[in-house]
Structure 1
Amino acid sequence: MADLIIDGGRPVSGTVRPSGNKNAVLPMLCASLLTDEAVTLENVPEISDIDKLLQYFAAMGSTIDRDLDGQRLTIRHDAAAFKNGQAQLPVGIRAAVLLLGPVLLRNGRLTFDTTAKGCALGVREIDPHLDIIERLGGRIVADHPYEIERQGAMVGADLWPDYASVTATETFAMIAALAEGTSTLTNAASEPHVQALCEMLLAMGAKIEGIGTSRLTIHGVDRLGGTVARVPDDHHEVATYLAIGAVTGGRLTVETDMGGHMPLILRQFEKLGLRFEIGDGAITASGWTRSIAEPYTLEMLPKIEAAPWPYFPADLLPQAIGVSVGCTGDILFWNKVYEGALGWSSELLKFGARVHLSDPHRLIVCGGNQLRPATVEAPYIIRVVLALFIAAIQIDGRSTIRNADPIRRAYPHFVEKLTALGAEVRWQ
């Protein structure tokens, strides 16, 4: 594991383009298994999880043509290995769960080891995925590891799960697209990356209604064809770069097509005193007052709540916390998605920040801190590394983030992009 060395207190200014969305490209890659025809993805980020998926596809006999410089990838699955016998899904990446539906449809049987994981956000259950598979006609014949099979075609059904799971919604969409009859999912996730997958399936010939809402209706078709699809920009990365520019006193412009998904996100960062200018195809971080926006209800503590879309994303709550340690007022952060996802906050104490972890979901950050550079330990959570980075880069002096490698799973060329914008940051 590598460390990040940050010499903070220097303005980060200029123009940057975000990468393609990690959480969109992985299900889109998995959906390419739903056809024998070529699928081309554009704006493909250079991240390790993609490499692992492509290694798996190559081992199964798929044809892959990747242009790293052009961020373009063409893949075709016409190998007999995906059509006969038993498929063993890869371990070591959380995205393996997104292969359940496509491999089952293509192969008829699969083995799935539940040790597959990608981060340390606590328990991430696979029950919603297995429930969807069973409700749509699959059968679990063994567990630990799981063996799943289907007899004939999958069959449409009406589902209403306990909560809006992003990956379970994506599993539903991929299976239902080729199931017999009509399927509905009430309490569907609607994040931008879920919308991107559904739009890709539409382009492949699927019949989907309700994209971007909490209710998806899918009319199954006999087959899907190839397509060319663009991976959307990562809205998390857009907000992260804007936050970095603002807290360093720079003027940083992010060129992106995600402006339509950003209003609520920007408004939450404005609660922390960040200022933005919205243009055509670009958003600029133009300043930071450091003041916390006070609610009209004076008895309430200012707060930022993270919950499933269209709430503020849980994957941006750590970055907002990283900004808040430099603010002059107090604020409450509430993660309604992941239990235990705020346990890292004790590392902020090393910077001189005053924080109080109320329970596994709620954190209070006090304002008016006398911040100092520090060496901190990052857990294996991508966004937490970024939170510690945002805290460090606003502080004069040299800080070190130990075990910072998780950034590479979602933020390609992060250090190179920032040094080009004036940041003093390097790997060690």
Structure 2
Amino acid sequence: VHGMPVIDADVDYSPSEDPVEAMSLLAAAVVTESELTVRRVPIEFLEIELAVLEEMGLDHDRTPEYFADNGRTRLVDLTVRPSKLEAPIDKIHPMPFPGLNIDNVPFFAAIAASAQGQTLIHDWVYDNRAIYLTDLNRLGGRLQLLDPHRVLVEGPTRWRAAEMMCPPALRPAVVVLLAMMAAEGTSVLRNVYVINRGYEDLAERLNSIGAQIEIFRDI
């Protein structure tokens, strides 16, 4: 990249849609056994995730592809329905693009906990992030930490309400929130700064599609 001493030009550009936000909503639908349509999904960044979900038995439809406002990103509208999921044959692990996105790996902990059978999740990129996935055990999950990078998930799960602190890692924190949505009763998730750091108005957007999340401040 060669810079310029002065930039004097108008720039009109539209960034690509976020595949991790799309995966967050898909995981919310799967874990809560809901039908949901997610529009403007950047499909080229979620092909492997959807292939794994298809292997697990996810019932879904997608529209023909169309282009994003930037004229380059390929989008689809994706509808998922309540499904009887089975654990995948292979372990779930991230890989460089076009492989499974490292930020989407934690969502498969809650998805695997909703499926029949045992699923091995290998989060080899981040040290210790897999540890936070075991917070799902507070909500009724059956996750066994094999080492700082590997978790064995047993499903299906009957989620139960709990009061707990938010994990310090962003994606595991959202996974806990999604499991709370699936649990019967009232759960309390404290210290949600990490979620607010990574998502814009996530609670409000989830409420717009049927969740019941109340935001409060401890005094």
Residue 397 of structure 1: CA displacement? 1.7
Q: Secondary structure at the match of 1:308?
A: coil
Query: Equivalent residue for 1:291?
Result: 86
- Decide which structure has the larger Cα Rg and report it: 1
Residues 1:408 and 2:196 are matched in the alignment: yes
Residues 1:246 and 2:20 are matched in the alignment: no
Letter matched to residue 288 of structure 1: S
Q: Aligned equivalents of 2:17 and 2:134: distance in 1?
A: 32
Q: 1:282 aligns with which of 77, 81, 91?
A: 77
Query: Equivalent residue for 1:354?
Result: 142
Query: Equivalent residue for 2:72?
Result: none
1:158-216 alpha-carbon deviations (Å, 9 max, x no partner): xxxxxxxxxxxxxxxxxxx117xxxxxxxxxxxxxxxxxxxxxxxxxxxxxxxxxxxxx
User: Which aligned pairs between 1:77-226 and structure 2 lie closer than 5 A?
Assistant: 177-178=1-2, 226=9
Q: Aligned equivalents of 2:21 and 2:130: distance in 1?
A: 20
Highest RCO, 1 vs 2 (Cα 8 Å, sep ≥ 6): 1
Q: Aligned equivalents of 2:37 and 2:54: distance in 1?
A: 16
User: Which aligned pairs between 1:225-374 and structure 2 lie closer than 5 A?
Assistant: 226=9, 227-256=11-40, 258-280=42-64, 281-293=76-88, 295=89, 302-374=90-162
1:85-115 alpha-carbon deviations (Å, 9 max, x no partner): xxxxxxxxxxxxxxxxxxxxxxxxxxxxxxx
Q: Aligned equivalents of 1:370 and 1:276: distance in 2?
A: 23
User: Which aligned pairs between 1:51-66 and structure 2 lie closer than 5 A?
Assistant: none
Tell me if structure 2 keeps the 8 A contact 1:233–1:258: yes
Q: Aligned equivalents of 2:145 and 2:30: distance in 1?
A: 26
Tell me if structure 2 keeps the 8 A contact 1:339–1:361: yes
In structure 2, stretches of 5+ residues that fail to align are 65-75
Residue 274 of structure 1: CA displacement? 3.0
The verdict on how the C-alpha distance between 1:268 and 1:400 changes in structure 2, with shifts beyond 3 A counting, is farther
Q: Secondary structure at the match of 2:93?
A: strand
Tell me if structure 2 keeps the 8 A contact 1:265–1:312: yes
Q: Aligned equivalents of 1:426 and 1:271: distance in 2?
A: 35
The verdict on how the C-alpha distance between 1:233 and 1:269 changes in structure 2, with shifts beyond 3 A counting, is same
Q: Aligned equivalents of 1:291 and 1:325: distance in 2?
A: 10
User: If the length of structure 2 is used for normalisation, what is the TM-score?
Assistant: 0.83
Tell me if structure 1 keeps the 8 A contact 2:94–2:105: yes
Tell me if structure 2 keeps the 8 A contact 1:243–1:274: no
Q: Aligned equivalents of 2:170 and 2:124: distance in 1?
A: 18
Q: Aligned equivalents of 2:187 and 2:51: distance in 1?
A: 29
Residue 410 of structure 1: CA displacement? 2.4
Q: Could you tell me the percent identity over the aligned residues?
A: 25
Letter matched to residue 2 of structure 2: L
Residue 321 of structure 1: CA displacement? 0.6
Tell me if structure 1 keeps the 8 A contact 2:60–2:80: yes
Q: Aligned equivalents of 1:332 and 1:417: distance in 2?
A: 31
Query: Equivalent residue for 2:70?
Result: none
Tell me if structure 2 keeps the 8 A contact 1:239–1:266: no
Q: Aligned equivalents of 1:272 and 1:390: distance in 2?
A: 19
Letter matched to residue 19 of structure 2: H
1:268-323 alpha-carbon deviations (Å, 9 max, x no partner): 23344433211133111122213223x3xxxxxx4111133222111111111122
Q: Aligned equivalents of 2:207 and 2:156: distance in 1?
A: 29
Equivalences, count: 204
Q: Secondary structure at the match of 1:426?
A: coil
Tell me if structure 1 keeps the 8 A contact 2:106–2:133: no
Letter matched to residue 33 of structure 2: G
Q: Aligned equivalents of 2:80 and 2:110: distance in 1?
A: 16
